[in-house]
Amino acid sequence: MHRLIVPSNVAAQDDPVHDALGYRFTVRAHHPDVRSHLMVLFAGLSAVGHAEVDPLELDATDARLSDRLVALMRRINIAAVGAAAGSLLLHAGAVARPDGGSAILCGQSGSGKTTLSVRLAESGLYYLTDEAVSLSPVTLRLRPFRKPAVVKAGAQQLLCHLRPQLDAAADGTWLVPPNAFDTTPTPDRPLLPRLLVFPTFTPGAGCAVEPLSEADAAYLLGKESSRLGEVQGGALPALARLARRAPAYRLVHGDADLAVRAVRSLLAAA
């Protein structure tokens, strides 16, 4: 069999259930090594209960396992975004302090979100996600999406110590489980935004931080949002609420260590 299939809506009792922003799924694999690998990859997405679970299956095919896993992750991301419709969905990474105060790192692909999210987690902050931040449009509470970090080729030199056992996918991507870089206990308080950072990675640049107006922040958040038209209560009120709640900064960096230090400093002061 050479496909990723989705059979009827019945999960086996022993398949762990995962939750990705409200999309609940299990992944079945027949090979025990693959099953173990899946458990490690998705350990950050554990869920309770078995209602409305989408059973996915990862069959053995000629394709590389890493390629099949990347395809699986892409499918889960899409389903997660769909399940979170109505929330304020940002193309962003996020980390949190022990008190739940969170920094949202918002930017386009290549801006350094994943590298910053992972390095900040390694420095002692709680990893929330590296790609998709979901917030309640009213309370602004963040919903964690502790998916495997998707480390692209450009970031692998900085994160070489996290190289997975599996070979990289055909596009050079690594999937790195959260427990490889985050050992911080889960915050016991609600996760609320306290800092907005819009990073841009520029090779050779040091680290420059520039405060942004609320209007600029709301605009940049909106430009990096998914399904803006479906936000409950309206897109603009939610964006305005978030921009007024947390101070915002543009961060131009070419050095991850300096960038991590800057974000930690800003979050500590927020």
Partner 1 sequence: MTPHVRVSRGRRFELVEMVEMVEMDGGYLFYDGTDLRLLAGQAAQVYARVDDVATADGIADSLAAEFPDQAPQVRADVLSFLQSLADSGLVGVLTPLPEAGYARAGGVGSVRDGDLTLLVNLDDGQRRALSPSGLRIWELACERGYASVIVAALQQEYPDAPPSLAAEVQVLLDDLVDQGFLLRGGHEPAGTAPSAL
The footprint of partner 1 (CB under 8 A) covers: 213-216, 218-219, 222-223, 228-229, 234-237, 239-240, 243-244
71 vs 228 by CB, closer to partner 1: 228
Smallest distance, partner 1 to C-beta of residue 258, A: 27
Cβ at position 44, least distance to partner 1 in Å: 32
- Residue 77 near residue 17 (C-beta atoms within 8 A): no
Quick one: 44 or 107, whose CB is closer to partner 1? Answer: 107
Name the residue nearer to partner 1 (CB basis): 22 or 107: 107
The minimum distance between CB 155 and partner 1, in angstroms, equals: 29
Is 57 or 216 the residue whose CB approaches partner 1 more closely?
216
- State the minimum distance, in angstroms, from the CB of residue 262 to partner 1: 22
* Nearest residue (CB) to partner 1, 57 versus 214: 214
Say how many CA atoms lie within 13 Å of 8 toward its Cβ. Answer: 1
Question: For partner 1, which is the closer residue by CB, 185 or 229?
Answer: 229
CB 88, min distance to partner 1, A? 13
In the complex, least distance from residue 102 CB atom to partner 1, rounded to whole angstroms: 21
